Structure 1
Amino acid sequence: MLKGKQKRYLRSQAHHLRPMFQIGKDGLSATWLEQVEYALEKHELIKVNILQNSLVEAAEVKEYLSENSDIEVVQTIGNVLVLYRRAHKVAHRKISNEVAAL
């Protein structure tokens, strides 16, 4: 669980990012989650955009992630979610080292 200071730092780091994934009319799936987890292993912090034609809401995405993974939702603004997970490989841990220091 992230502290408030850590979430603020992550939000500031995510500000300039563009959404890396989209959720469309197909909704959420195990394959989508695998791809998000792979991207988080490399980047640790990503944005996900929920398209207008999607059948899922941001709250449903948060619930799905909390039930099926250890990914944390740092921020939700409209249909854009900021996701964070510490990388398992030490070589990819850039942001998580900063977060741990806070």
Structure 2
Amino acid sequence: MELNETQKKRLRTRAHDLKPVVMVGQHGLKPTVLEEISGALDYHQLIKIKLSVGDRDLRDEILSQIVQYSQAQTIQRIGNVAVLYRRNTDRPDILKQDF
């Protein structure tokens, strides 16, 4: 499901106060980190991740691998922090909830 700009804006607003749930560090992207991200998306639907690795190109490459593996959508990326969203049909939709 592709999100429109209004939905993305609403998710960015919700994500503002979130702390990063998963941090990718100097050891790069491991399968266990991908599983942790997927599990966090299942539970929270909207998460922040921190990418403390190399330069911008490497961060973009790792983020694209995460998005591809987790089937999530990138809502926002500022510096080393990215916000990801994936709808979980078993939980209430956070797009329809009030703040």
Q: Normalized against structure 1, the TM-score is what?
A: 0.81
Structural mapping, 1:29-48, within 5 Å: 29-48=30-49
Q: How does 1:1-102 map to 2 (within 5 A)?
A: 1-51=2-52, 54-55=53-54, 57-89=58-90, 92-96=91-95, 98=96
CA contact (8 A) 2:41 2:47 kept: yes
Q: Contact 2:87/2:93 (CA < 8 Å) preserved in 1?
A: no
Please, which runs of 5 or more residues in structure 2 have no aligned partner?
A: none
Give the 4+ runs in structure 1 shifted more than 6 A: none
SS in 2 for 1:41: helix
Q: Quick one: which amino acid aligns to residue 58 of structure 1?
A: R
The root-mean-square deviation of aligned C-alpha atoms, in Å, is: 1.8
SS at match of 2:88: coil
Taking the aligned partners of 2:9 and 2:50, their CA distance within structure 1 comes to: 20
Q: Which runs of 5+ in 1 are unaligned?
A: none
Could you tell me how far apart the structure 1 residues matched to 2:92 and 2:62 are?
25
Partner Cα distance (1:8, 1:88) in 2:
21
- Counterpart code for 1:93: P
Q: How many aligned residue pairs are there?
A: 94
- Shift in Å, 1:48: 0.5
